[in-house]
Homo-oligomer: A and B are copies of this chain.
Amino acid sequence: MKFCSNCAAPVVKRVPPGDSLPRWVCDQCGEIHYENPRLVVGSLPEWDGRLLLCRRAIEPRYGYWTLPAGFMENDETAGQAALRETLEESGARVELGAPFSLISVPHVNQVHLFFCARLLEPDFKPGDETLEVALFDEAKLPWKDIAFRTVGLTLRHWFADRKRGAFSFHAEDIAPR
């Protein structure tokens, strides 16, 4: 059972007039409670040809490696979200470049966005949600222990683009396994 956040009455899931999808509707105050995908924003922090990864200290995927990233917050831009998450998770200060990948993950109602980034100095330390932080070149990267498919895909594109000498923007979708 769910309740209206405006008036505390129970809500029901049905298609409102003029709409085509079921929504949580409050018959007491009339409010329609929409649910929309969330943006997860992060960065690809580079130093001397290596990329900075964080080993997760939280679920999901405790102990696996990821790029610094997290849910975009209200009142910030996508770039500010990437800088904030990078600093929070890895202690690293970066200069952002262009957006590099945008990946829809519809089965979890997320869109992941990663920016190219350059470490301002080779200085980092794990934040509260991180066990360890390290720089990896392509050969040493823990490819089998990457936390999320969006991160693995983004990393593969990044090293492939670097090999051919030009970074481009990658838009993709990920389907359930």
- Residues in A lying within 8 Å of B, measured CB to CB: 2-8, 10-11, 18, 21, 24, 33-39, 71-80, 98-99, 102, 104, 106-107, 109, 111, 113, 128, 169, 171, 173
Contacts and interface: CB of A to CB of B under 8 A. Distances in A.
Nearest to A40: B36
Given A3-B6, A76-B106, A77-B106, A99 B171 contact: yes
Contact of A171 (B36, B98, B173): B98
Given A36-B38, A78-B111, A104-B78, A73 B3 contact: no
A54 B73 CA distance: 31
Count identical subunits in the complex: 2
Nearest to A105: B77
Contacts of A10: 8
A5 B6 contact: no
A3 B2 contact: no
Contacts of A39: 36-37, 39, 111
B34 A98 contact: no
B5 A2 contact: yes
Contacts of A33: 5
Contact of A79 (B21, B79, B107, B173): B173
A59 to B, nearest CB: 14
Nearest to A113: B102
